[in-house]
Amino acid sequence: MWLSLVVLVGLYYLLRWYRERQVVSHLQDKYVFITGCDTGFGNLLARQLDMKGMRVLAACLTEKGAKQLRVRTSERLETVTLDVTNTESIAAATQWVKEHVGERACLLEPFYLRSLPLIPSLEFSRLGLWGLVNNAGIIIPTAANEWLTKQDFVRVMEVNLLGVIEVTLSLLPLVRKARGRVVNVASILGRLSLCGGGYCISKYGVEAFSDSLRRDLFYFGVKVAIIEPGFFRTNILPLERFSQTLKNQWNQASSEVKETYGEKFLASYMKKIKSLDNMYSEDLSLVTNCMEHALTACYPRTRYSAGWDAKFFYIPMSYLPTFLVDAIISWNAPKPEKTL
């Protein structure tokens, strides 16, 4: 009995290994739109897909970031400036994508296959946008919740969640036409809330939005993947700026809040931030390889955990009982001076 079980499990993983290595055809004809390409994951993914011969449409927040990216890539890659918190900017970028995707020639799909949108082995060159990668994000301001205002929460959520939603809804008709892919960058902080502020809230929201989107688009043949990175060294969290912002939030807090938490709490919090410098992974390709697989594999995963800390610590911890997770997190967390 045990031998049969081992054989079945082995066959399952062998089949999974084989399926996950099947790559879609005509990659050189497929367009991918990526947000947040100035630096970090988006920048590396744009260069990575460009080297694969795909047609990358890279959205950068600044023209400086766009210019630097164009210098490092082929003439196939094209850039546009995009502020994901601005509806007019999103509308302009959407129109720009439509113009670049254009009315390309495609193979006629037999009418009797149109009712079978879920057969991944049947690849047709289609009109539309093959891939949308929602990568743009910010984390600052982050602090104890009582130190923040509503606007501090809104500022982060406008980029990380509402921006993702608006960009997706604007480009979804093009993705659906191609029966393509939507790849949303969440975080292990979308599984475990380790800090105050809008970041964890926004990433939990990305998880929920992605789940509902995947189920909505199931019958259209569109696949939705979620990337859940651990801690990586990117420009989303410059430690000096993070420390300065934390001091600013403390200075703006009420006298009651300062008295309750105390200066020792602030000092402990600052020390905790500095210790993060030793936790970051430098290898951003661990994340971009997951993104690439989600875009190019015939059978992409629903969720990708990127980084050893995500795989072996944070994701497993998210399945533990809540009281145990609370105990683990609070054990090494800063403690307020007044607790009554």
Q: What is the DSSP letter of 159?
A: I
Beta bridge partners of 224: 182
Going from the C-alpha of 288 to that of each of 105, 198, 230, the distances in angstroms are 30, 24, 13
**Candidate list 199, 204, 304, 314, residue with the active-site label:** 199
DSSP string, 160-194: IIIHHHHHHHHHHHHHHHHT-EEEEE--GGGTS--
- Nearest C-alpha neighbor of 105 from the set 83, 124, 133: 124
Decide if 204 is catalytic. Answer: no
DSSP 34: E
Contact of 160 with 138, CB cutoff 8 Å: yes
Listing DSSP states for 281-324 in one string gives BS-THHHHHHHHHHHHBSS--SEEEESHHIIIIIHHHTTS-HHH
Task: Dig out the tokens for 189 from the structure.
Answer: 């902080």
SS3 content of the chain, % helix, strand, coil (to 5): 55, 10, 35
As a whole number of angstroms, the distance between CA 190 and CA 62 comes to 27
- Active site (catalytic) residues: 199
